[in-house]
Amino acid sequence: MASSVNETSEYAIEVNDVTMIFNMASESLTNLKEYFIKLIRRELFFKEFRALKNISFKVRRGEVVGLVGTNGSGKSTMLKIIAGVLEPSEGECVVRGNIAPLIELGAGFDPELTARENIYLNGSLLGYTKEFIDDNLEGIIEFAELQDFMDMPLKNFSSGMTARIAFAIATITEPDILIVDETLSVGDVFFQEKCERRIQRFIESGDVTVLFVSHSISQVERICQRAIWIEKGDLRMDGPVNEVCEAYRNQFN
Ligand SMILES: Nc1ncnc2c1ncn2[C@@H]1O[C@H](COP(=O)(O)OP(=O)(O)OP(=O)(O)O)[C@@H](O)[C@H]1O
């Protein structure tokens, strides 16, 4: 169960014994028709896949934590559970404060609407009022540096342009908890540096808790104080960023 509560506690996030089980079809089906026929004939079997296994950790308010792990190890699944996008199969996740989740590029956007309309749509999903977005629209557009593209449908945007809009909206105010997945990696190096500077500003304020996933270990070391290493669904290591990143690197040597 994922829950969001406002009571004061030194912890912004508590992950308690979380397990995530996905049901995967045991054979590959080529189309939806085949799927339904097998489903009706009761010939469809699923096997359980444990993407996360009994994970527990706590994150203090203002702490900056990096999640590392090889492809498919469960990092995004963990972030989605914390953001309340996925419900864990077992265990619970307690989150204190409002979350700005940057996890799935394009989630919360409608490709048929223009960029400007999407700013209002996505902003309302983040809990902003129309008046607030009116007042901050210029700031969002300016940060994204997409002044000339505001009336173009989002379906014509590149992934990097969409990432620019998504980051600009989510960080126009200081969130309590900022969750950043690999979404930023599609931005060009200049925009990535600009985002990193904004994240650094939040970190320096001391009030924002940041969870950060990146395959760039040097970026994790630069931004985070602590790192959590998840490997094939298991929590392998949790500690000071340099120690965890060194152990993570050493597994390949
Ligand atoms: N909706 C789903 N249904 C079935 N399996 C899923 C689903 N979502 C994720 N998985 C599986 O769970 C495992 C963990 O995926 P996840 O995306 O969390 O990994 P990750 O560590 O973020 O990987 P990467 O570094 O490649 O982004 C993978 O094996 C993936 O195939």
Apex 127 CA angle, 121 and 129, nearest 5:
75
Average pLDDT on 21-44 reads 79
Residues 77 and 86: their CA atoms lie apart, in Å, by 8
Q: How confident is the model at residue 51 (pLDDT cuts 50, 70, 90)?
A: very high
**Helix, strand or coil, per DSSP, at residue 71:** coil
Q: How far is the CA of 103 from the centre of ligand 1 (A)?
A: 13
Question: Dmax of the chain from CA atoms?
Answer: 59
Among 76, 78, 235, name the best residue to mutate to test ligand 1's pocket (greatest count of ligand atoms within 8 A of Cβ): 76
Mutate to test the pocket of ligand 1, among 15, 26, 49 (most ligand atoms within 8 A of CB): 49
CA-nearest residue for atom 18, ligand 1, is: 74
Q: Which atom, in ligand 1's list, is nearest to the CA of 74? A: 18
pLDDT for 121: 93
Q: What is the pLDDT of residues 77-130, one digit of tens each?
A: 999 999 888 999 999 999 999 888 787 767 789 999 999 999 999 899 888 999
- Rounded to 5°, the CA angle 153-155-157 comes to 85
As for ligand 1, residues whose beta carbon falls within 6 Å of it are: 22, 24, 49, 51, 69, 71-77
- Parallel, antiparallel or unpaired: strands 99-102 and 177-180: parallel
**What is the spatial distance between Cα 104 and Cα 225, in angstroms, rounded to a whole number?**
24
The domain of 31 spans: 2-250
Burial (Cβ within 10 Å: 0-12, 13-18, ≥19) of residue 162: buried
Which pLDDT does position 161 carry in this prediction? Answer: 92
For 183-241, what is each residue's pLDDT tens digit?
A: 777 888 898 889 889 988 988 988 899 998 988 899 899 889 999 999 999 999 999 99
Give the number of domains in the chain: 1
Q: Which atom of ligand 1 is nearest to the CA of 233?
A: 14
Per-residue pLDDT, 27: 67
Which protein residue's CA is at the shortest distance from atom 16 of ligand 1?
74
Residue bearing the CA closest to ligand 1, atom 25: 71
**Which is nearest to 105 in space by CA: 122, 120, 88, 129?**
122
The domain that holds 68 is classified in CATH as 3.40.50.300
Instruction: Say how many Å lie between the CA of residue 248 and the centre of ligand 1.
Output: 19
Ligand 1 center to residue 68 CA distance, Å?
14
Cβ of 201: how many Cβ atoms within 10 Å? 12
Q: Report the 10 Å Cβ neighbour count for 208.
A: 23
CA of 91 to the centre of ligand 1 (A): 19
Residue 225 confidence (pLDDT): 92
Q: pTM of the entire structure?
A: 0.84
Task: Looking at the CA of residue 80, tell me the nearest atom of ligand 1.
Answer: 18
- At 136, the amino acid letter reads N
